[in-house]
Structures are given as structure tokens and as C-alpha cells.
């Protein structure tokens, strides 16, 4: 065991408390970060990690507690003050203006000037120097909107270093990266550490945390559970510390599918706004009682594929059959009435009306069918009864069905959406990222719902960025890359790493022969 010779911590937070209306996000949280270490802060969604970091970075102010940086007491009322104290943050959702160049994004707020104008030449030089010394490869004059996710993250890191930060906070930096990009990021982080920077790393993927961190602080429900040395814990122990109980995990069970094809895509193509093929001649069958998982880096046609199945987006070629019947020319309404359920990717924008009560939300997409409608009229009492059933059988935790959807937590919103779709008794369910951004408990409930539905013969098309979810739930996995299906894998024998390889095209031809659909 490596005993930490505790030098003066660079950052020390003591008794930080932050309350939001109705919740205590941080409840007397303590955090000590030593100089030159990579310190991971882990916890479930809603454990208070992001709030804590926003407080440290001056984006929010704590209600109680003390902050010390380099041994002296500080109080930040804006990020500018945190930056001055040598703290920088790489946000989970990149803080980059797409229509500005890399250079403009980096120098913003700290522009070098020469006679009143921005001194682009010296900024250029500084950026390239930074890039060289930390191995962060970037072109200063590229527009940010043309960059890949990994590159954007490097811009974010450069941005922080450019301001002379010695302490870097990274908020779930790996959430948007594929495994290969994660390795690249970790190389960069180790390089930073070797040059004396301190890194605070927020995550909930335990394998990654154990791979990169020196010290780990676990938060649960807004409280510090413990701080441990990463060499002294296992992933299982960490997980139990995080959830405080036995860990739910998607586990496969014997497949219930038969040979009956519920949804069939035959050479399906979808053109994007520029006329290019976003989905390119995809052949894919989903059988009754089967979950087909679609993996892929976001933006490789999964979204378009789903929208084409729902009829939200016109197809440019091929055919779509539901239970053997062509859906060509069917409007969305007819497809829904024919028994296609839909769990949209973004429940706030597509799944719910945030300011409408639950019972109205429960009608959405089924408003023409009983029990929500009687003839041309809505059936209020029927809708309310149905909503009450959804709330009780899908364990939606809410004060009542007249509560607005906005008031519910993400997990409960999602349970309502899933319940709404299941209640209608679909034959086919299209689910996009069904557990994104919800807590572990709700996640387990959603998984259980999907599994139960499959057992009852529901065909499910599941698009997800959570590779473990895909591997755990799906009976068959396909990988989409640039609009094509590039591999079909058996979840029982695949690993996230292998999947990642196919998603980026790195696996290439080597596995192509065995991987491709016969």
C-alpha cells in the first residue's frame, strides 16, 4: 500500500453544501486533492459531482463550506476568478462556439492584443507551442464546427492550459468518446500529470477511473462516502460504494425470439439535407421477441435510421416492412397505430411536453386511440385512468398525475415515456438511448421493462451509446459506420473494446469476413 505523504493539498474543499429548490445537491462534501495527482470523483448521476465542480470553478456558489486553493482560503463568484487562481474546467458539454475558429475559442476572454486588435500571430505561436509540448495536435484556424469530438475536447484542454491553469477539472470527459479516443485522452492526461499539472476527473465508468486515477473520491447522494487509493480497490468495491448496495447490471438471458420477422429493412437508404446517404442500403430484420442493438459513434446514421422507421424522415430508397406489409407512404400516425412504439433519444424535446401534466403527456402519440380517445374526442377520464395505471405499474414516482412532466426527475420522466409506449401494446418498439442521463435505479427498471416486453414477444430495435447496455440487453448487435452496417456481432462473445474497434472502423478488414451479415 502506498501511503500518501500528505503534502499541502492544491485544492481542499471542506463541508461544501449546496441546496437547490427541493434537493440538496451537495451535503457537507469534503474533497482533498494533492498536487500532481489525477484525482477521480465518482458517483451516480445526481450524486452531486457536477455541482461540486461547478462550485470549485465559480459557476455556482456554495451555500456553506470552505474552499482552499494552494493553502489559502478562496471564494469564487465567477469562473474568471477561478481561472485567475489557476483552475480550469473542461465541461461535459463542450463550451465551444461552432462558428468561431479554434484560435478564437481558445483566446476568448484572454485575448493577446497589439494596438487594440487581437494579436493573432502571437496567439497562433502560443497555441502551436502548447500543442507541441503536450502532444495535443490542432490547427488554430479550423472552424470548430468542422472538428471531430476528440478534437473538440483537445481544444477545450488547450483552452484551459492557455489560461495557465495548473489544476484541470474534467467533467465526464469520456462520455462522448469511443474507446480509442479515450486512450488518446488518457495519454494526454498522463503527459499533463508528468509536467506537474493536477487533474480532477469526474466519471462514472469505473474501469476507466481505475485505469487513470491515482486517488478516488466517491460521492453518493450529495455526500462524500470515502476517498481511496486507486490501487487498493476493485471495480466491484467502487461500484458498491457508489450505489450503496448491490449493483444492477444488464444480464443476458436466453433469447425468446422466433423466426417471425416483425420489422424488415430491405436496402433502406435515407438522404440527409445535402442529398448524401445518411443511411446507405441497410438490410436488417428484427424478429418477434428479439432485441437488436445498433451500436455506432453518434452521427453515423442511427438517428436517421430510426426516423425513417417512424416515418419522421422520408426514405430515398429501399423498403420497410412491418409484419410483412410495406410501410411505404405511411404517415407517422398510421405507423404508430399499426403498433410501433417509440422511445425518443431526447425525452425533453421529443418525448414530453415539459409543462403539460402527466396525463396529457401519457396521451402523446396515442391520442387517436382508446383509452385516450372516444371517436373524434379526447377521453379525459379514460386518459387519467390509463395514466394512473402507467404511474403505478411502471413505478413513476410522482405526487400525482396532474404534476407537470418538468417536475419529475430524468429517470421518472423516462419511466413515464416507456410506460406510455408499453401500455399501448406495441408489436415493435424503437428505442433510442433509453437510459441516457438517468440514475442507476431507473436504468435497472428500464432494462427490466425491455426484457419483460421481449419475453412477451415484442420486437425491439435499440440504439444506444452505452456499449455495456447494448451487450447486456441485445440478442444481436449490428454496428453502423457512415450509414452502413459494417458488422454483426454476437453480444455473448463481444467486448466493448471490440465493439469500439468496429464503431471507428479500426477493426477494419481483419474481422470483416466473420463480422458481416452473410
The residues binding another protein (CB under 8 A) are 57, 59-60, 78-80, 83, 89, 91, 93-100, 104-105, 107-111, 113, 116-118, 159, 163
In the complex with another protein, which residue's Cβ is closer, 109 or 299? Answer: 109
Cβ distance 213 to 38 under 8 Å? yes
In the complex with another protein, which residue's Cβ is closer, 100 or 247? Answer: 100
Q: Indicate the SS3 state at residue 347.
A: helix
Q: How far is CA 511 from CA 19, 284, 489, in A?
A: 52, 19, 10
Provide, rounded to whole angstroms, the least separation between the CB of residue 104 and another protein: 6
In the complex with another protein, which residue's Cβ is closer, 147 or 430? Answer: 147
Provide, rounded to whole angstroms, the least separation between the CB of residue 25 and another protein: 13
Peptide bond into 371 cis (omega under 30): yes
Q: Where are the alpha helices (DSSP H) in 163-253?
A: 179-194, 206-212, 235-243
Q: Where are the alpha helices (DSSP H) in 231-340?
A: 235-243, 302-310, 332-337
In the complex with another protein, which residue's Cβ is closer, 108 or 149? Answer: 108
In the complex with another protein, which residue's Cβ is closer, 145 or 253? Answer: 145
Provide, rounded to whole angstroms, the least separation between the CB of residue 139 and another protein: 19
- At a CB cut-off of 8 Å and minimum separation 6, what does 450 contact? 291, 418, 429, 431, 434, 460, 462, 473
- At a CB cut-off of 8 Å and minimum separation 6, what does 497 contact? 179
Residue 307: how many CB atoms within 10 A of its CB? 22
For 414, list phi and psi in degrees, rounded to 5: -65, -40
- At a CB cut-off of 8 Å and minimum separation 6, what does 443 contact? 248, 411, 435
Alpha-carbon span 502 to 441, nearest angstrom: 30
Provide, rounded to whole angstroms, the least separation between the CB of residue 58 and another protein: 9
In the complex with another protein, which residue's Cβ is closer, 83 or 265? Answer: 83
Provide, rounded to whole angstroms, the least separation between the CB of residue 94 and another protein: 8
Q: Residue 91's Cα: distance from chain center in Å? A: 13
Provide, rounded to whole angstroms, the least separation between the CB of residue 518 and another protein: 38
In the complex with another protein, which residue's Cβ is closer, 437 or 472? Answer: 437
Q: Indicate the SS3 state at residue 325.
A: strand
Provide, rounded to whole angstroms, the least separation between the CB of residue 117 and another protein: 4
- Report, in this order, helix, strand and coil percent for the chain, each rounded to 5: 35, 25, 35
Provide, rounded to whole angstroms, the least separation between the CB of residue 160 and another protein: 10
Alpha-carbon span 206 to 325, nearest angstrom: 45
Provide, rounded to whole angstroms, the least separation between the CB of residue 141 and another protein: 14
Cell numbers for 497: 473494446
In the complex with another protein, which residue's Cβ is closer, 12 or 156? Answer: 156
Strands 215-220 and 223-229: antiparallel
In the complex with another protein, which residue's Cβ is closer, 144 or 498? Answer: 144
Provide, rounded to whole angstroms, the least separation between the CB of residue 204 and another protein: 20
In the complex with another protein, which residue's Cβ is closer, 95 or 378? Answer: 95
Amino acid at each position: 500500500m502506498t501511503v500518501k505523504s500528505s503534502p499541502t493539498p492544491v485544492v481542499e474543499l471542506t463541508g461544501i453544501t449546496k441546496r437547490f429548490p427541493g434537493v440538496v445537491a451537495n451535503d457537507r462534501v469534503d474533497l482533498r486533492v494533492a498536487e500532481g495527482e489525477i484525482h477521480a470523483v465518482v458517483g451516480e448521476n445526481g450524486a452531486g459531482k457536477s455541482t461540486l465542480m461547478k462550485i470549485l470553478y465559480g459557476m455556482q456558489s456554495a451555500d456553506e463550506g470552505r474552499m482552499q486553493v494552494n493553502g489559502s482560503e478562496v471564494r469564487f463568484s465567477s469562473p474568471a476568478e477561478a481561472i485567475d487562481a489557476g483552475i480550469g474546467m473542461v465541461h461535459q458539454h463542450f463550451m465551444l462556439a461552432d462558428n468561431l475558429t479554434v484560435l478564437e475559442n481558445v483566446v476568448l476572454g484572454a485575448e493577446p492584443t497589439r494596438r487594440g486588435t487581437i494579436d493573432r500571430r502571437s496567439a497562433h505561436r502560443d497555441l502551436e507551442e502548447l500543442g507541441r509540448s503536450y502532444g495535443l495536435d490542432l490547427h488554430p484556424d479550423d472552424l470548430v464546427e468542422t472538428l471531430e469530438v476528440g478534437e473538440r475536447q483537445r481544444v477545450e484542454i488547450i483552452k484551459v492550459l492557455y489560461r495557465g491553469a495548473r489544476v484541470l477539472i474534467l467533467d465526464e470527459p469520456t462520455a462522448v468518446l469511443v474507446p480509442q479516443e479515450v486512450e488518446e485522452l488518457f495519454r494526454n492526461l498522463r503527459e499533463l500529470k508528468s509536467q506537474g499539472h493536477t487533474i480532477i476527473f469526474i466519471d462514472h465508468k469505473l474501469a476507466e477511473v481505475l485505469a487513470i486515477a491515482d486517488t478516488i473520491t466517491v460521492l453518493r447522494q450529495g455526500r462524500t462516502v470515502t476517498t481511496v487509493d486507486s490501487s487498493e480497490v476493485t471495480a466491484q468495491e467502487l461500484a458498491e460504494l457508489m450505489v450503496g448496495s448491490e449493483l444492477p447490471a444488464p444480464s443476458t438471458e436466453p433469447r425468446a425470439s422466433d423466426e417471425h420477422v416483425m420489422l424488415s429493412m430491405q436496402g433502406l437508404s435515407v438522404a440527409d439535407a445535402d442529398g448524401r446517404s445518411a443511411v446507405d442500403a441497410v438490410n436488417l430484420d428484427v424478429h418477434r421477441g428479439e432485441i437488436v442493438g445498433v451500436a455506432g459513434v453518434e452521427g453515423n446514421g442511427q438517428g436517421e435510421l430510426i426516423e425513417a422507421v417512424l416515418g419522421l424522415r422520408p426514405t430515398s430508397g429501399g423498403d420497410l416492412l412491418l409484419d410483412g406489409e410495406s410501410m411505404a407512404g405511411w404517415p407517422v400516425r398510421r405507423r404508430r397505430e399499426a403498433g410501433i412504439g417509440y422511445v425518443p433519444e431526447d425525452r425533453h424535446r421529443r418525448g414530453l411536453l415539459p409543462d403539460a401534466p402527466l396525463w396529457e403527456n401519457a396521451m402523446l402519440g396515442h391520442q387517436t386511440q382508446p383509452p385516450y380517445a372516444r371517436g373524434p374526442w379526447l377521453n379525459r377520464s379514460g386518459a387519467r385512468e390509463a395514466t394512473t395505471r402507467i404511474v403505478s405499474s411502471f413505478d413513476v414516482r410522482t405526487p400525482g398525475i396532474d404534476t407537470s412532466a418538468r417536475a419529475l426527475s430524468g429517470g421518472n420522466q423516462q419511466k413515464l415515456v416507456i410506460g406510455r409506449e408499453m401500455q399501448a401494446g406495441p408489436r415493435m418498439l424503437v428505442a433510442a438511448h433509453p437510459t441516457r442521463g438517468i440514475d442507476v435505479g431507473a436504468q435497472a427498471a428500464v432494462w427490466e421493462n425491455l426484457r419483460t416486453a421481449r419475453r412477451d414477444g415484442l420486437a425491439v430495435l435499440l440504439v444506444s451509446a452505452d456499449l455495456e447496455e447494448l451487450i447486456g440487453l441485445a440478442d444481436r448487435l449490428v454496428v453502423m459506420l457512415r450509414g452502413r452496417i459494417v458488422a454483426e456481432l454476437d453480444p455473448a462473445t463481444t467486448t466493448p473494446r471490440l465493439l469500439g474497434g468496429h464503431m471507428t472502423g479500426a477493426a477494419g478488414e481483419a474481422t470483416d469476413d466473420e463480422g458481416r451479415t452473410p
